[in-house]
Amino acid sequence: MNLKFKIGLILVILSCLFFLSLPLILFLSLAGNTKIAITTILFIIAEITFWSGGLLLGKELFSKYKSYLNPKNWFSKKVD
């Protein structure tokens, strides 16, 4: 694996961690406006890191894994 691929993979994994941390904001003892600001910032950072990682991984690999994450494809039978 080359460096570009590794960085892309790290960025996609990092974006998943940002997305998973969004619900945890609800349990912080902060003011409502602060929670909204933190959630917005985390969401924007997660989107930027996801698409940046996708660009580094390449169109083919990114499209392949994106189809795995599509709920419409979860229960369909695969034709060889």
The ranges assigned to domains in the chain are 3-73
Give 72 or 39, the one with higher predicted confidence.
39
Residue 59's alpha-carbon distances to 29, 44, 45, 64, in angstroms, are: 41, 22, 21, 9
Measuring CA to CA, which residue among 54, 41, 42 is closest to residue 13?
54
pLDDT score of 62: 67
If phi > 0 it is left, if psi is from -120 to 50 it is alpha, else beta; for residue 5 that is alpha
For the cut 60, the answer to whether the pLDDT of residue 80 exceeds it is no
**Residue 63 or residue 11, greater confidence:** 11
Mean pLDDT of 23-30: 89
Tell me if 17 sits within 8 A of 50, measured CB to CB.
no
Residue 23, judged by CB atoms within 10 A of its CB (0-12, 13-18, 19+), counts as: exposed
Tens of pLDDT, residue by residue over 27-69, are 988 898 999 999 999 999 999 999 899 888 887 776 777 777 7
